[in-house]
Each structure stands twice: as structure tokens, then as C-alpha cells.
Structure 1
Amino acid sequence: MIEWEDSELALKKQAELLGLNRSSLYYKPVPPDPEEILIKHRIDEIYTKTPYYGSRRMTAVLNQQGLIINRKAVQRHIREMGLQGISPAPNLSKRNHQHRVYPYLLRNLATSHPNHVWATDITYIR
């Protein structure tokens, strides 16, 4: 919207009409540092493999890989990239009142000899 050359209006007047500061007209954005880009790529690789790592573990992994960086810098990069660690949501232990509650059949039973009570575990292992 600014005409830099061959304009009837001076830059000062153009900026005034547009409601801009003249100093912002001359601003040239600074390109990101190549080292920061490298760090962000490494953080992205680690996050893709292990999305549950937080900033402390991420810092330890980066330091093991030879990048000397502190936790606050890692936090800043993670925040800028919009990443967030995956963690359990709160209140996971709350009971669902629609589910049936089964009685505990061994409450008043005294297990006095071997093979009196048996149990099993049905844990799913992927």
C-alpha cells in the first residue's frame, strides 16, 4: 500500500494516512538462526518418536546427542512449535456410576491352606 518511488505523497504523509509508524516501514525481518532451526528439527524428531517426553527429558536427550542446551530454551522452542507432551487427563480414577460393581467374595474368607484361593491376571500386553 506504500508507494516507495515516484509518489506524489511523501512517505511521512503516506504513513500518517495509513496510521503506521515510519520506523515500521523500514523494518526488515531477521531470518531465524540456523542453529535454532537445527535444534527445532531435533526436538521435532524426538517428539515424533516419544510424544510423552517433557522438557526435562527432552533436554537430557538433546544433551546426550551433543547439543548443549538448557531446559528453559527447550521449553521456549516447544512452546513456539506448538507441541505439548501427552499425559493422562485428571480424574481418571473416578468411578463410572453406570457400570456394575461386583462384590468382593474373599472379604471375610480366611485363607488357611495352600490352593485355597486362586487368582489370575488378564493384563493385555501389546
Structure 2
Amino acid sequence: MTFLPETRVCPRCGERSRIITCGDSDGTIVSACCEAVIPDLNDSPTVLIEDGKLVCPFGDCGAADQVIELDVATRENRLSIDEEGTIVAHLGDSEFEGDGFECQQCARSVSMPGGDEIVHV
């Protein structure tokens, strides 16, 4: 029996290509030729909003208030020494890049409702 790798039409160049898993935290599936995201293989179900809480959309989980945002941050924190001789890092400028969302209970990827804006405080 011969195993043939799965192929899909690349959404960027239109050629039929093997699919690979990207090295990001979501394990995004992309075309091998252009590393273009294959939409139908990367669907993350949208979280539910019930009684003012974000609820995991997976039926076998359904955890409330367990959705987290995953991100990568680069910060510049100035260092100094205080009166006791302790080195102190002063929180300074930060640059955050969102990496996705997941449920902490079941550790599966989820997405936010389309029109909802997330405010970082």
C-alpha cells in the first residue's frame, strides 16, 4: 500500500500543493508551496456568550470564563538599583502580537465572535 500526502489547491498561487503544519502555537495548516493558510482546515469554533460569560464552544467542554488570549510580547524594561540594593525592572514600553485564543480547560483553539473588539487594559 502506498501512502500519498494530502494535497489541496493553494489559495495564493492556485497550484495543487502538499499541506504542512506551520510552527505556530495553533499548528496552522498551510500550503507547502506558498505557506498560505488553508481556511477550511483551520476553523476554530467561535466562543459562546452566555449570561455575560465567554463559554467554550466544544460540547464536551463548555467551560465558562476559561478562554484566554495567547500573545507574544517584546518589552523594554529599564533596570535600576533601589535603596536596599535590589535590582528593579521598571515596566516600560511593550509591543504585543496576538497569536490566537484557546480554552484553558480543554486547551483547544477557539475564535472570537466577528464583530467583538477586545480592549486591553
Higher helix share: 1
**Quick check: TM above 0.5?**
no
TM category (shorter chain) comes to under 0.3
Higher strand share: 2
Larger RCO (alpha carbons 8 Å, 6+ apart): 2
TM-score normalised per structure 2:
0.19
Larger Rg: 1
TM-score normalised per structure 1:
0.18
